Amino acid sequence: MKIWFVALTLVLTVAKGQGSNFESYIFEGESRWNKNALDPMLCDADEEECMRYMNDIAMVTRTQWFAQPSKEHALYMRMPVSHVFIHHTVMNECFSQWECAIEMRDIQQYHQAVKQWADIGYNFVIGQDGGVYIGRGWDRVGAHTLGWNNISISFAFTGNFNEKLPTDDALNALEAALIVGVKLGKLTPDFKLHGHRDARPTESPGQKLYDLIRRHEHYEPIGPNIITFVPKSHG
Ligand SMILES: *[C@@H]1O[C@H](CO)[C@@H](O)[C@H](O)[C@H]1NC(C)=O
């Protein structure tokens, strides 16, 4: 009982990004992925409670960011999927739910009106505030990584991460979301994490973030790495 309480407190603290263990990992050259920060085993004491709390904390629904509806009938993937792609948006950063909601609508507008896609392309977008903003969500086929859209989930960090990393809150949010994804049966426990540029000729997810992603325990390259920069490539 006592261990469970300590475990839940730790999960909540880390999911909120406060007093995060990432803080001791922020110096250059050191991995910021703290394997113990969100050990899925911590949830085993009471999985339902754990899920409820983690969802409450991290996820911002489409209703909450005032999304436009999808322009087409959604296509659904077969769950669980075993690939996750990390992107950067190369648009604005955002530091509060209010700012990030505006940013979500801008991204959606760009994807629907300019790209002519049915909806915002990403499955999830992560703001500097540590919010996980639901784009197409876990189950719907996205428009993010050509050739991989129907077998993968995408997380896009708001901003450009060639020369700096996302905030600790944002990185913690990704880690929490990945664990929740496995818990929900949306991701296979041995899912492979990739950078967008592993599959496409693009800078995304940015050099600094890519360097970090490559140190994640779930990271796996895809064939030969393609790192040619193609300006304005968001697909
Ligand atoms: C994904 O799309 C490709 C190309 O359209 C298709 O060949 C493949 O069967 C699809 N895979 C799944 C799992 O639906």
Residue 30 lies in a domain: no
Residue 65 lies in a domain: yes
Residue 15 lies in a domain: no
For residue 160, give its domain range: 58-213
Residue 11 lies in a domain: no
Burial classification of residue 16, based on how many CB atoms lie within 10 Å of its CB (0-12 exposed, 13-18 middle, 19 or more buried)? middle
Residue 181 lies in a domain: yes
Residue 222 lies in a domain: no
Prediction pTM value: 0.77
For the CA of 151, the nearest atom of ligand 1: 13
- Residue 74: the pLDDT is 85
Q: Is the pLDDT of residue 26 over 60?
A: no
Strands of 59-60's sheet in order across: 59-60, 132-134, 124-126, 152-157, 81-88, 187-195
Residue 43 lies in a domain: no
Q: Would you place residue 36 in the very low, low, confident or very high pLDDT band (cuts 50, 70, 90)?
A: very low
Q: Measured between alpha carbons, how far is residue 33 from residues 13, 57, 123 in Å?
A: 16, 20, 22
C-alpha 181 – ligand 1 centre gap (Å): 22
Residue 93 lies in a domain: yes
**Tens-digit pLDDT profile for residues 99-157:** 999 999 999 999 999 999 999 999 999 999 999 999 999 999 999 999 999 999 999 99
The CA-to-CA distance between both ends of the chain, in Å, stands at 48
How many distinct structural domains can be found in the chain? 1
- Whichever domain contains 109, its CATH number is 3.40.80.10
**Tens-digit pLDDT profile for residues 220-233:** 998 655 544 444 44
Average pLDDT score, the chain? 79
Q: Would you place residue 43 in the very low, low, confident or very high pLDDT band (cuts 50, 70, 90)?
A: low
- Residue 206: the pLDDT is 96
For the CA of 150, the nearest atom of ligand 1: 1
Q: Is the CB of 150 under 6 A from ligand 1?
A: yes
